[in-house]
A = this chain, B = another copy of it.
């Protein structure tokens, strides 16, 4: 397909992945008059039921990729584990992918990701690349004697990671992560986790949403509160990190950057997600232009939209059976309910979320 930007309404946007992020991207695209084609291996996916077309096929299915390349004006993804080879293949077939191969490749490897941030002068946890238990034993003293071992690739919501309790645990920890190439990270003594959702347009314009404060439970995001209460210096530093990251990656689209704040206010970047991000769901009810519309605007070559918060928002994920409380939530006037259309409320599965708004100034006396 020829790529001329800004894409006119009626253009087709391809989305790799049919989960809730793909679903909310499709809803945002529809509001702007775009159509969406979803590529997703699983049948009856959340995004497929709001997309103009769904290709139910593996991500590397050659025919499906050909169809995407032939029919989509731009192709994006809703998750970061799309094989880089797939994006390469799409580009070879003449498709335009956004954000491109490089952000995807870096985000897929935790060592590359940390080295990328270091190269920008952005502080991260101390770390070591691990190829076996000997590496763990060698790095552990420097990393504080107790450190977090994570597979370099894949793993999310706390999966594929384990604490190494000491040198004697090296062998067992290596087994616990499946004896896969890994990263060993020093413990970060953070007081809270922050994240920033930012976007970069095709013209290089950058916009940051107000910073969110995140709380996790069992490795899964539980709540985001935004705008977080921050010093002006911290806010400026978070935005500078987002800006540097977007520019270094020549990024197009929405990115989520997670950071740890230390007791003295210093920041350590944890990771970035080259996509819309769970900690940005508060924008769905808290901003005129939410992160999904912002991503669609960016990849379609439109100017970015406003990122100001209209109210304070607390976003709470509905995980597993919590979504069974939909009746009470439906009756709660303070709850803006979002449900993802997943058929089965499996343990740990993100089924929906709720945004609760508080007008600015209320209760601030």
Contacts and interface: CB of A to CB of B under 8 A. Distances in A.
A35 interface: yes
A300 to B, nearest CB: 9
Contact of A27 (B30, B52, B297): B30
A193 to B, nearest CB: 27
A357 interface: yes
A343 interface: yes
Interface in A303-327: 303, 305-306, 310-311, 323, 326-327
A32 interface: yes
A80 interface: no
Interface residues of A, number: 43
A163 interface: no
A119 B27 CA distance: 43
A31 B338 contact: yes
A59 interface: no
A306 B336 CA distance: 10
Given A6-B327, A330-B303, A333-B305, A340 B288 contact: no
B50 A27 contact: yes
A339 interface: yes
Contacts of A32: 330, 337-339
B341 A35 contact: yes
A8 interface: yes
A40 to B, nearest CB: 14
A3 interface: no
A9 B50 contact: no
A26 interface: yes
A327 B33 CA distance: 13
* Chain copies in the assembled complex: 2
Nearest to A23: B30
A8 B326 contact: yes
A10 B345 CA distance: 12
B333 A306 contact: yes
A341 B9 contact: yes
- Which of A49, A52, A306 has the most C-beta atoms of chain B within 10 angstroms of its own C-beta? A49
Contacts of A289: 336
A327 B7 CA distance: 9
A339 B297 CA distance: 13
A10 B8 CA distance: 33
A50 B323 CA distance: 24
Contacts of A6: 327, 330
Contacts of A26: 50
A136 B27 CA distance: 50
A340 B357 CA distance: 29
A330 B297 contact: yes
30 contacts: A8-B326, A9-B326, A9-B339, A10-B341, A10-B343, A26-B50, A27-B30, A27-B31, A27-B50, A30-B49, A30-B50, A31-B337, A31-B338, A31-B339, A32-B330, A33-B339, A33-B341, A33-B352, A34-B341, A35-B49, A48-B52, A49-B52, A50-B50, A50-B52, A285-B288, A289-B336, A297-B330, A302-B330, A306-B333, A310-B310
Interface of A: 6, 8-10, 23, 26-27, 30-35, 48-52, 285, 288-289, 297, 302-303, 305-306, 310-311, 323, 326-327, 330-331, 333, 336-341, 343, 352, 357
Given A6-B330, A9-B339, A27-B31, 5 more contacts: A9-B352, A27-B50, A32-B338, A50-B52, A310-B310
